[in-house]
Chains A and B, each alone.
Chain A
C-alpha cells in the first residue's frame, strides 16, 4: 500500500498553476482528495459507525480490493489497510461496533474483515456476484444480508457457512438498503421489494415501481422519530422517487424528481439524461445527496421538495457517496461507471475519492409551502 503523499493535493492537477480553477476538472469543487485511491473504479464507500472514535472510510473497487483510510480532523487521510477478493468488490459495510467490515464481490463470496487482526474470512457464498451487503443488528439476532445477481437474498450468521435464511427474489438484486427493521431491495426489471426484519427477515411488500426505468440505487430514510419510513429510489433515467411505505396520502406524499440531466432550460439540443449512481441521506438533517453519471453531486431536501445545491461537473462520473456518522463529511468517488460502455473506459485514468465538509450545505431549507 502506498503511503499518502504522492497524489494528494488540494485541487492541484497537471496545470502547474497553483489553485487554478478553470482547467482542473477532476476536482472542480476543490474538495479534499483521499490519498492512495484505488486503481480502478470505486464501487462503494462507507464510513465507520459512531461506535468507533474518529472517522474511518472504506472503499471497494473494481481492482478487487477494499481499502481503509483514517480520516483525520485536519482533513488528512491515512491509508490503513487493504484486503483483496478474487473479483471486483461491489459493496462493503461496517458492523455496528466498527470492528468488522463486510465486503461483497463479483467472486460470489462475501468476507468479514476483522480490522484489528487485519484478517478476512469468507462468510457467504452465492451463485452469482454479490451486489449488496448489509449488517443487520436486531434485538434477537445479528446477521449479514447479501443480495446477489443469483436472485437470492441470503442472511448469514458469520459463524456458519450455511445461510440462516435464503429468500428468493423475482430478479437479480441491483441495490439494497437496510435500516432496522426495514430493508428494501430493488431488482432488475424494476422490481421493488420491502422486507421487514423483526423477529426474522420476511418479505413485507412488493411495490410497483414508481420509476419507469432500470433501478440503480436505493436508500432508506427515517422520520422525525428516527424510524425508517420510506426510501429514495434512483434509476438510470436521471430520476429519483421518494416513496413512503405507509403514507397518509400516497398520491400527495410520494413523488419523483428529475436530476442529473444536462441542458436545463435549453430545449434546442437533446437533453442528456444520466443515471443516478448512488443516494445517501444525511444522518442528522435527513436531507439527501445524489451522485450521477454526469459527474455531479446534488443535495436535496425531500420535505421542502427543493434542491439545495448542485456541484460543478467533474470529468468522470461519480460512482459512490456516503456521509460519515455525524454528517460532517460527505465522501464521493470519481471514477468511470461504464455509462458510455467499454469504449470510454481508460484504465490509466486516475480514480479519486473526495471529502467535503457537509455540515452547512445539507441543512434543510425552511419549508416555503
Chain B
C-alpha cells in the first residue's frame, strides 16, 4: 500500500496524519477481514475535568467493547476521539449526554470515508509520477495512458514531444507523440493505434513501441538511422471517447461516441469515415451498424484531426494503422479488388515484415491487400493515405485469430509488441531506403 497522503499530491505529510494512519489501518482491516464500518461514527469529546475524563476511561473497560479510542483520554484539555460502532451509537450518546459530556461528530459514516479514501488511493497509485513503475504488461485506462504520456515526454524530452491535434466528440484531447532528432519537416512516418476502441492490444502495443524507440535509439543502428533522417509520429489513443467507454460501460465498443439529432444509435466507425471510396461496399449507412460510415467523409472530429495534421505537414512517407484481431499485415485497397500501382513492392515488403515478425515468437500472419485478405471495406484510413500520395500504407491486425479475440490476455501484450516491432522496423527501414 502506498504511503501517499489521502488524495493529496503534495510530497509532505498532511496535517491529519494520525487520523490518516488510523483510516489506513481500518482500510486494511476492512480488506483483510472484510469488515464493514457502515454507520460507524467517530465522536470527539471534550472532558472538562478529571472526573469527566475518568467517565470516559470507564467506557474503555466495558465488555463487550463499545468504543474504540483513536485518541484516548489523557488530559482534560485534550480532545478524546473515539470510534463508536453503529449498533452502540444510541447507548454511547445517551451515556455522554446524561453525564454532561460535550461531544461533536467528527466522522458521520466511516464506511463512506473509507470508500472515498480507497478510491483516491487507487487513483493516486495509478497516476504514477514516473514511467519506470508503469506496467507495460497490463492494460490501462485513458487517464493512466495520458499520465504516462506526460511522464514519458518529460523523461525523453530530447527526442519526444507531445502534440494535441484536436478534440474528440466528447471533447477529450487527441494526442500525438513526435519522435524527432531535429531538423525541420523531416520526412515522416505515421503510426496509429486504437482507432477501434475495443482493440486494447493495439494501444498497449503502441505504448511499448514508444518506449522501445527511445530505448533503442543510439543502440539499434537501423532505428538510429531512421530517426536521423525521419520523424516518427504515434497516435496512441485514436478514439479516446470510445476507449473510455470500453472501460466504463461496454468493453466491446468499436465506434466513436458521436451523437446526431434524430438518430437513435450512437457512434461512427472511424475506419469507414475517410475520403476514399466513402460509402461504398464494406461500409454501412445504418447508424446502428458497427461499420456505419457517418454522414460524410471526415465528419468525425477524430478523423478530421488526423487528416488536417497529415495534410498540413505535407511530408509523410509511410502510414501504419494498427488494429486487432486476425494476425494479418495488409496494404491498400480495401475498397476494391483493384491492385495499387506498387502492389509488387508492397507484397514483397509485407512478406519481409511478416517473416521478421515470425522469427520472434513463431506467430504466423497472413498478408496481402485488404480486400483480398480480409474483406472489402470502404472509406478506410490506408486507402485515404495511399490516395493522398503515401506510398507505404499498411494496416495490421494483431493477435490473435479468435481464441481470445479482443479480450487478449495481458500476458500476451509484450510478446505481441515485440514481434510487431520487428515488422514495423522492417517497413520503416524500407521507407528510409526508398525516398520519394
The yes or no verdict on A and B being binding partners is: no
Interface residues of B, Cβ cutoff 8 Å to A: none
Interface residues of A, Cβ cutoff 8 Å to B: none
